[in-house]
């Protein structure tokens, strides 16, 4: 194992002590409310971190793709929810059937057609099915009053419908965490009532995102939450007020390669940090050692950073830490995470599900 200084930049470094604290805090909050925690593994894509989450009280994992499910199943995870409106055609259908024989598998649907395609693919094997509802993000998912129709069709096709799920993605905006959590609770409540009306008990009522998780406290309505980003946090969560500087567990180490007064260019660009930048973000990432600095431009291998005039501009060849805006896409660009504790490198963990999109 090298020291941090011996590793050529850019690379992603993880403070594993902060990860453990974030993992424990979310588990404590969610279980204290009487809910199930099923963290989204798309953030870390790393079996070692999944094991930390499961050891801390998570019931199972959430993933976004069949290939992520395959990788975490191979790593020993036995309870997996693919929180995505899966189209179970072609080889993907056979892959789902193989997974269903290996782990406890739950799959999302949001249409009669996707339910029927899934039933054909699964062909009587056991999976749990949940109907995706749109709670205000307007991506996939049906309106709450249409959930019963999809659930009924799924049941008739031979699937076991166990409930509903939603992703309140509109929580990603300043001040949006609480109102998005309220939308989520309403949508889940309405869809659940509609399922009861057609004789289906929605025992799984799954919601959650990192910005809304703290507000999703009605266990009578929401039985399960699925945050992902909380394990590392990122510049978006910092700027949304979901976390503090001390909760940021992952950064890119970058070298200053070009310099002029109050401006540096570092070697971590969009191929390391990701290009995600919401309209409300103050820049392309944040620097924990220079809170008033801003990433004002980014290209593939350059981030241009401005600093306040009263701050000494970092020297050429020195290193700075940059927090990505969106940690999920930054991790998906890396083959390895450098694991540190108290500033020392203690391990190197593979991002095993990097690029697992199918």
Distance CA 48, CA 71 (A): 12
Determine which residue in the list 4, 9, 24, 288 makes contact with a copy of itself, applying CB under 8 A. Answer: 9
Q: Is 302 in the site for a copy of itself (CB under 8 A)?
A: yes
Tokens for 39, please give them: 């963290």
Nearer to a copy of itself, 221 or 333 (CB): 333
Instruction: Report the site for a copy of itself in 137-156 (rule: CB under 8 A).
Output: 138-141
Can you tell me whether residue 109 is helix, strand or coil? strand
What angle do helix axes 90-100 and 112-122 make, rounded to 10 degrees?
60
Nearer to a copy of itself, 117 or 287 (CB): 117
Nearer to a copy of itself, 90 or 241 (CB): 90
Nearer to a copy of itself, 218 or 324 (CB): 324
Q: How far is the CB of 75 from a copy of itself (least distance, A)?
A: 19
Determine which residue in the list 144, 163, 274, 283 makes contact with a copy of itself, applying CB under 8 A. Answer: 274
Nearer to a copy of itself, 59 or 263 (CB): 263
Distance CA 106, CA 128 (A): 4
Determine which residue in the list 217, 259, 262, 347 makes contact with a copy of itself, applying CB under 8 A. Answer: 259
In sequence order, which ranges of 141-265 are alpha helices (DSSP H)? 147-156, 177-197, 210-213, 235-240
Whether the Cβ atoms of residue 141 and residue 110 lie closer than 8 Å to each other: yes
Non-local (6+) Cβ contacts of 333 within 8 A are 271, 272, 274, 354
Distance CA 248, CA 340 (A): 13
Tokens for 18, please give them: 């902060």
Q: Is 5 in the site for a copy of itself (CB under 8 A)?
A: yes
Q: How far is the CB of 165 from a copy of itself (least distance, A)?
A: 14
Q: How far is the CB of 19 from a copy of itself (least distance, A)?
A: 20
Give whole-number Cα distances, 98 to 40, 82, 89, 125, 357, in Å: 22, 14, 14, 9, 18
Instruction: Report the site for a copy of itself in 199-258 (rule: CB under 8 A).
Output: 255-258
Q: Is 324 in the site for a copy of itself (CB under 8 A)?
A: no
Nearest to 95 by CA among 116, 128, 115, 70: 70
Determine which residue in the list 73, 194, 276, 285 makes contact with a copy of itself, applying CB under 8 A. Answer: 276
Q: How far is the CB of 90 from a copy of itself (least distance, A)?
A: 6
Q: Is 275 in the site for a copy of itself (CB under 8 A)?
A: yes
Residue 32: in which H helix or E strand, if any?
helix 16-32
Give whole-number Cα distances, 94 to 98, 99, 114, 123, in Å: 6, 9, 15, 10
Number of residues that bind a copy of itself (CB under 8 A): 63
Q: How far is CA 176 from the centre of its chain?
A: 18
Q: Is 291 in the site for a copy of itself (CB under 8 A)?
A: no
Determine which residue in the list 120, 126, 156, 271 makes contact with a copy of itself, applying CB under 8 A. Answer: 271
Whether the Cβ atoms of residue 168 and residue 123 lie closer than 8 Å to each other: no
Determine which residue in the list 95, 128, 186, 350 makes contact with a copy of itself, applying CB under 8 A. Answer: 95
Can you tell me whether residue 193 is helix, strand or coil? helix
The residues of the shown chain that bind a copy of itself, judged by CB under 8 A, are 5-11, 42, 64-66, 84-87, 89-92, 95, 110-111, 113-114, 117, 138-141, 169, 255-259, 265, 267-268, 270-272, 274-277, 297, 299-302, 304, 316-317, 326, 328-329, 332-335, 355, 357-358
């Amino acid at each position: 194992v090298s020291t941090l200084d011996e590793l050529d930049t850019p690379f992603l470094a993880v403070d594993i002590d902060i990860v453990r604290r974030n993992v424990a805090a979310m588990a404590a909050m969610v279980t204290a409310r009487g809910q199930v925690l099923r963290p989204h593994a798309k953030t870390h894509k790393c079996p070692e971190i999944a094991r930390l989450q499961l050891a801390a009280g998570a019931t199972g994992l959430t993933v976004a793709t069949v290939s992520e499910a395959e990788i975490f199943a191979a790593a020993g995870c036995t309870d997996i929810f693919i929180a995505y409106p899966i189209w179970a055609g072609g080889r993907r259908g056979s892959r789902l059937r193989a997974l269903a024989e290996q782990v406890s598998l739950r799959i999302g649907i949001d249409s009669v057609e996707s339910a029927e395609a899934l039933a054909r693919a699964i062909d009587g094997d056991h999976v749990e099915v949940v109907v995706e509802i749109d709670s205000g993000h307007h991506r996939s998912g049906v309106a709450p009053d249409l959930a019963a129709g999809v659930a009924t069709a799924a049941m008739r096709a031979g699937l076991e419908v166990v409930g509903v799920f939603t992703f309140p993605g509109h929580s990603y905006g300043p001040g949006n965490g609480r109102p998005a959590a309220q939308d989520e609770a309403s949508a889940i409540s309405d869809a659940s009532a509609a399922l009861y009306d057609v004789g289906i008990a929605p025992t799984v009522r799954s919601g959650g995102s990192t910005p809304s998780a703290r507000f999703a406290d009605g266990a009578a309505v929401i039985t399960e939450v699925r945050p992902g980003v909380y394990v590392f946090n990122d510049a978006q969560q910092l700027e949304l007020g979901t976390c503090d500087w001390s909760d940021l567990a992952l950064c890119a180490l970058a070298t200053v390669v070009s310099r002029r007064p109050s401006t540096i260019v570092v070697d971590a660009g969009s191929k390391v940090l990701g290009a995600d930048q919401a309209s409300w973000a103050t820049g392309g990432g944040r620097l924990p050692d220079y809170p008033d600095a801003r990433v004002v431009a980014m290209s593939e291998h350059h981030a241009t950073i401005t600093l306040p005039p009263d701050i000494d501009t970092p020297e050429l060849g020195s290193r700075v830490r940059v927090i990505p805006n969106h940690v999920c896409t930054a991790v998906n660009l890396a083959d390895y995470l450098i694991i540190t504790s108290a500033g020392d490198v203690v391990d190197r963990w593979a991002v095993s599900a990097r690029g697992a999109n199918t």
